[in-house]
Structures are given as structure tokens and as C-alpha cells.
């Protein structure tokens, strides 16, 4: 008697694309952000429930601190990121951007960027030990029992100078506490797609 061959098919439903890549125009982008960072006035983000989390550039969420070189580089990476799940032509626009400063003891509470199509961060200054970026699962039901909790609860990304990370604006994320004496500076931004 011949055993019947059984074929199995596994698919993962509802993946969440998170993209990271080192920028190609590193030196020019670093110089561009350095000139912006030197002029930046920092505002503390002291919150009644969270305490002093970190510092943001003065024009919090109202302006655009991104320079021309970064915009050109970002366009290439947005192209690659969006192509992986959408082959249509698209137009994008940066809605806002800001610099974040994390001193020793600072962290970023878990949050998302609401209606932004894509959010991102670029690491301008880091010692790579001053707090990882982490993402929480968009499916809270993974925590319902020990079978599903083996699926990732958190994805962590180590900061590295020149690293660009793109992710859906609705994805919950935070930054681990900077326990070093090194100040980390990153550039964050929100993008909408038409």
C-alpha cells in the first residue's frame, strides 16, 4: 500500500514591513544634519505620566528640518520600500520632521505616528549602545496564549550612524533607555503617499 503524499502550505497573514538600510550618501547627509543640529534649540518632552523622556528640536512637528541631500536619499529608499508591497507609481510628501536628543536616562515611550503612511528615523549620532528602537506587534492577540506568543512580540533594531529605518506610521514603537554617557541624536519624519 502506498502512502498518500501530503503537501503543506504555510503563509504568514498580515505581515508588517519594516525596512532598514545604510544610506549611500553618508558623508554629505551627516554634514547636512550637523549644520541643522548646531542651530537646534532643544525642548524637553517632560510628560506628567512618563517624566522626562527625551528632547526634541524646538519646532516640534510643525516644520521640516530635513535638508536636500537627505530628501534625495530618502526618495531612493522610499521607492524600494514601497515597491515591495505596491507596484503602482506614487507621490510622497514629508509632512513633518524633527531631531531627537537622548541623553543618559532618556527613552522614548511606546507610541505611533497615527495617520502617517510611512514614518522613519535616521541615526545621525550614536555609539550603538545608547538605546535600541523596538516595535510592538500590531496583533495584541499574540499574547493570548503560549502557542502564539512565540511569534515576535518585539522587533528591535540597534542604532548605527547612517542607518535609515522606515515603517508604517501606525506601528507602535519606542526607544530603550540610553544608559550610556553618550548623547544620541536622530532625525525622525513622517511621510504621506498619494
Extract the C-alpha cell encoding 55. 528632547
Predicted confidence at residue 55, as pLDDT, reads 86
Mention every residue, 6+ apart, whose C-beta is less than 8 A from residue 74.
Answer: 66, 94, 120, 164, 189
- Report CA-CA distances (Å) from 63 to 58, 60, 95, 98, 100: 10, 7, 8, 8, 14
Distance (Å, rounded) from C-alpha 133 to C-alpha 175? 5
Residue 3 confidence (pLDDT)? 60
**What is residue 188's predicted lDDT score, i.e. its pLDDT?**
96
Rounded CA gap, 61 and 52, in Å?
18
pLDDT score at 59? 65
Q: Which three cell numbers stand for residue 124?
A: 545621525
Instruction: Give me the pLDDT at residue 152, please.
Output: 66
All three cell numbers of 115: 495617520
pTM of the shown model = 0.87
Helix or strand (DSSP H, E) at 28: helix 26-39
Largest CA distance in the chain: 80
The three-state secondary structure class of 82 is helix
* Residue 99 and residue 56 in contact, taking contact as beta carbons nearer than 8 Å: yes
Mean pLDDT, each 10-residue run in order, the chain (194 residues): 64 81 96 92 76 77 79 93 77 92 94 94 98 89 76 86 96 96 96 90
Amino acid at each position: 500500500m502506498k502512502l498518500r503524499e501530503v503537501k503543506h502550505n504555510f503563509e504568514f497573514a498580515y505581515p508588517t514591513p519594516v525596512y532598514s538600510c545604510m544610506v549611500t550618501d553618508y558623508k554629505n547627509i551627516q554634514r547636512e544634519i550637523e549644520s541643522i543640529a548646531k542651530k537646534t534649540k532643544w525642548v524637553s518632552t517632560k510628560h506628567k505620566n512618563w517624566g522626562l523622556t527625551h528632547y526634541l528640536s524646538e519646532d516640534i512637528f510643525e516644520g521640516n528640518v530635513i535638508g536636500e541631500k537627505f530628501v534625495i536619499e530618502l526618495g531612493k529608499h522610499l521607492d524600494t520600500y514601497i515597491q515591495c508591497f505596491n507596484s503602482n507609481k506614487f507621490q510622497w510628501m514629508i509632512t513633518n520632521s524633527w531631531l531627537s536628543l537622548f541623553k543618559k536616562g532618556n527613552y522614548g515611550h511606546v507610541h505611533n505616528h497615527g495617520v502617517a503612511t510611512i514614518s522613519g528615523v535616521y541615526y545621525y549620532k550614536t555609539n550603538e549602545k545608547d538605546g535600541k528602537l523596538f516595535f510592538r506587534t500590531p496583533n495584541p492577540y499574540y499574547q493570548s496564549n503560549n502557542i502564539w506568543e512565540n511569534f515576535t512580540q518585539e522587533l528591535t533594531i540597534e542604532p548605527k550612524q547612517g542607518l535609515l529605518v522606515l515603517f508604517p506610521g501606525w506601528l507602535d514603537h519606542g526607544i530603550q533607555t540610553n544608559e550610556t554617557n553618550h548623547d544620541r541624536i536622530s532625525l525622525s519624519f513622517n511621510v504621506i503617499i498619494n
